Amino acid sequence: NAGVTQTPKFRVLKTGQSMTLLCAQDMNHEYMYWYRQDPGMGLRLIHYSVGEGTTAKGEVPDGYNVSRLKKQNFLLGLESAAPSQTSVYFCASSMDGVEQYFGPGTRLTVT
C-alpha cells in the first residue's frame, strides 16, 4: 500500500495564481483532512471530510476550497494565492478519526 500520497511535492506560485493540491489514499478511509504548518508552528486544520461527498471547515478555512468527489481523493484548491499561504501542506486520512495517517507534505511558496 502506498498509504497517503500528495501531489505535487513542491510548488512556487505568484500572487493571484490558482492551484490544486491532490491527496490520495488507498486505505479505504472515510475521514480525510488538510492541514497547514508554518515554520516553527504546529499543524492547523484547514478543511476536513467525514465521507465521500462531504466537506467541513476547520480552524483556518479562508482562502481555500476543497472537494471529495471520490472516497480516495481529497483536493485542496487555492483560487487566488497570497504570500500568507506560503506553508507546508499536509494531508491525512483516518478510518474512524482516531489514528490519522499523514502524507509527506507539499511545500508551497507564494511570491
Partner 1 sequence: DAKTTQPNSMESNEEEPVHLPCNHSTISGTDYIHWYRQLPSQGPEYVIHGLTSNVNNRMASLAIAEDRKSSTLILHRATLRDAAVYYCIPAEGGSNYKLTFGKGTLLTVNP
Give me the least distance between CB of 18 and partner 1, in Å please: 24
Tell me how far apart the alpha carbons of residues 66 and 45 are, in angstroms, rounded to a whole number: 13
Instruction: Pick between residue 85 and residue 100 the one whose CB is nearest to partner 1.
Output: 100
Instruction: Pick between residue 35 and residue 78 the one whose CB is nearest to partner 1.
Output: 35
Question: Would you give the end-to-end CA distance of the chain in angstroms?
Answer: 36
> Between β-strands 87-94 and 101-102, what pairing exists: parallel, antiparallel or unpaired?
antiparallel
Instruction: Pick between residue 9 and residue 70 the one whose CB is nearest to partner 1.
Output: 9
Give me the least distance between CB of 14 and partner 1, in Å please: 26
CB 8 within 8 A of CB 24: no
Give me the least distance between CB of 29 and partner 1, in Å please: 11
Residues at the site binding partner 1, with contacts judged by CB under 8 A: 4, 31, 33, 35, 40-45, 48, 50, 58-59, 90, 92, 94, 97-105
Tell me how far apart the alpha carbons of residues 13 and 87 are, in angstroms, rounded to a whole number: 12
Give me the least distance between CB of 48 and partner 1, in Å please: 7
Residue labelled with grid coordinates 483516518: 94
Instruction: Pick between residue 57 and residue 70 the one whose CB is nearest to partner 1.
Output: 57
The 10 Å Cβ neighbour count of residue 22 is 14
